[in-house]
Structure 1
Amino acid sequence: MKQALIVGGSTGMGKATAERLLEQGVEVAIIARGGENLDEVAKELSVKGSVKVYPVDLSKLEEVRKFTTILATELPNLEYLVNAAGYFKPKSFLEHTEEDYEIYHDFNKAFFFITQAAAQVMKENGGGSIVNIGSMWAKQAIKATPSSAYSMAKAGLHSLTQHLAMELADSKIRVNAVSPAVVVTPIYGSFIEKDKITESLQGFNDFHPIGRVGTAEDIAKTITFLLSDDSSWVTGAIWDIDGGVMAGRN
């Protein structure tokens, strides 16, 4: 059975991707911060297929290292990897602290070394596919949502995507990324009450030429396509899944 690893698969786009892969008969492993939410997600998703969960705090390198040492044993048939974990809280550049900065870049450090371990398994298995969740903010600054450290980290993830696509091509591993605009997910819970996220984000509908904000399922559909053999001639791409935002000004 094919196996997929989703880093940050307990909520939002990662969880939506896990659901789609399970429906396709893929065994899914999820890395997320431990606790009650992770247990609930495991129980919820298990009705759709085989799910494994691993509590890992991505901000703690020792926990990341511990997971990478068991990855090959736990997921010997790994074919898909999705780096989906994230955090977002607009804050002006002049107010950013070192702690703010580290929050975002700790994710990239974790992605880097988890991807390294996953790619080694894929290489030994004859290939695989990796999708990173980047961001429109890495390509375009939005004055209303100042996010310099977040955008810097996401731009780095876009760059890593292209470098790995080149380096891993000989091992038959494809590496792509999606670059969403405003999507209704719990990531906005850092500054919006969770039960008001959907309502609050409707104010951004007109920001998108298509006329609405995105859903986690919108992004998950593209991620699963990029993982699949249907996109076998696509690698190193950063796909704008953004309701048309990057096409021009609305």
Structure 2
Amino acid sequence: MTQPTQSYSLIIGGSSGIGYATAKQLLEQGKAVIIVGRSKQKLADAKQQLSDLGELITWQCDLYQAEQVSQLQQTIADYAPINQLVNAAGYFKPTAFLEHSESDYLQYMLLNQALFFITQAVAQNMIKHQGGSIVNIGSMWAHQAVKATPSSAYSMAKAGLHALTQHLAMELAEYNIRVNAVAPAVVKTPIYQAFIEPEALDESLAGFDGFHPIGRIGQVVDVANTVSFLLSDKADWVTGAVWDVDGGVMAGRN
């Protein structure tokens, strides 16, 4: 198969939420984009909705299936230049620490494991093609506990992603690869549907408006704006940063 020669932006978890919003912005900027997702239907919907904006490729991969992750790693290693990566795949279901089971704990840790080795494959691709930029979607919960949303395992995983961001920034700088992260607070995304019925989502999340000094929860475009900036050459002196994109939560709460 003849490989394309242009560079691609790869978004893990790009069929919905922050990943989808970022894919849309990058396509509007003229980037060729590859999105990875688990759901065939969501990938098909994204393809239909976004293809008019530019070149969009979709790859299906269940990040909880080691064999599929391994195949994705090989595809990435052998592919055309990938000069941007966004790790946006996520899972969130508040659970009290004393009630956590091994299986739901692993929901977070296995996801981190997949992202770790996918990022390794992308970094190897970037090294072959003179560098790139990586942005991880972390979380405000990795910085700050919130009693109303007990999230010990989730926060542990996201804190690990923040730490990985800083370590990779140090290790990959010599290869012209920048690595940053964003740490959102409450953002309206499908991730909350793991424990909130879709029809109740708006009302439930509206209860967190006042939690943010800026007066409202975030929308996916709020985070995508920062992700797109960090990926771009406009941020070419920024690496190892974990940016709070949180409506002011880490500054203080109302």
> With structure 2 as the length reference, what TM-score do the two structures score?
0.96
Work out which of the residue numbers 61, 84, 88 in structure 1 matches 2:66: 61
Residue in 1 that maps onto 2:215? 211
Hey, what's the Cα distance between the residues in 1 that align with 2:20 and 2:65?
22
Q: Please report how far the alpha carbon of residue 218 of structure 1 lies from its aligned counterpart in structure 2 after TM superposition.
A: 0.2
**What is the letter of the counterpart of residue 221 of structure 2?**
E
- 1:94 aligned to 70, 93, 98, which one? 98
Q: Deviations over 1:149-195 (max 9, x none)?
A: 00000000000000000000000000000000000000000111123
1:180 matches 2:184: yes
**Whole-angstrom distance in 2 between the partners of 1:194 and 1:248:** 30
Alpha-carbon distance in structure 1 between the residues aligned to 2:154 and 2:179? 21
Query: Which secondary structure does the structure 1 equivalent of 2:58 belong to?
Result: strand
Alignment partner for residue 205 of structure 2, among 190, 194, 201?
A: 201
Q: 2:189 aligned with 1:189, yes or no?
A: no
Once residues 224 and 199 of structure 2 are traced to their aligned partners in structure 1, the CA distance between those partners, rounded to angstroms, is 22
User: What letter is aligned with 2:219?
Assistant: T
2:151 paired residue among 142, 147, 153:
147
Counterparts in 2 of 1:20-31, with a 5 A limit? 20-31=25-36
Could you say which residue in structure 1 is the equivalent of 2:253?
249
The answer to whether residue 47 in structure 2 is matched with residue 15 in structure 1 is no
Provide the residue aligned with 1:48 in structure 2. Answer: 53
Deviations 1:40-65 (A, max 9, x none): 11121111111111110001111100
Structure 2 residue 81 is matched with structure 1 residue 77? yes
Query: 1: distance between equivalents of 2:132 and 2:253?
Result: 37
Equivalent position SS for 1:247? coil
SS in 2 for 1:211: coil
Residues 34 and 54, structure 1, Cα contact 8 Å, conserved in 2: no
Contact 2:187/2:220, CA 8 A, preserved across alignment: yes
User: Structure 1 counterpart of 2:111, which letter?
Assistant: F
Query: Which of these residues, 110, 115, 118, is aligned with residue 114 of structure 1?
Result: 118
| Aligned mates of 1:128, 1:247 — CA distance in 2 | 31
> Which AA in structure 2 matches 1:61?
A
Give ranges in structure 1 of 5+ residues lacking alignment.
none
Aligned length: 249
Aligned-partner SS, 2:70: helix
Alignment RMSD:
0.9
Structure 1 ranges of 4+ moved more than 6 A? none
Offset, 1:73:
3.1
Q: Is residue 132 of structure 1 aligned with residue 136 of structure 2?
A: yes
Structure-1-length-normalised TM-score: 0.98
Say which SS state the counterpart of residue 52 (structure 1) adopts.
Answer: strand
**Cα offset for 1:144?**
0.4
Offset of 1:70 from its aligned partner? Answer: 1.2
Structure 1 position 221 matched with structure 2 position 225: yes
2:16 and 2:42 in contact (8 A); partners too:
no
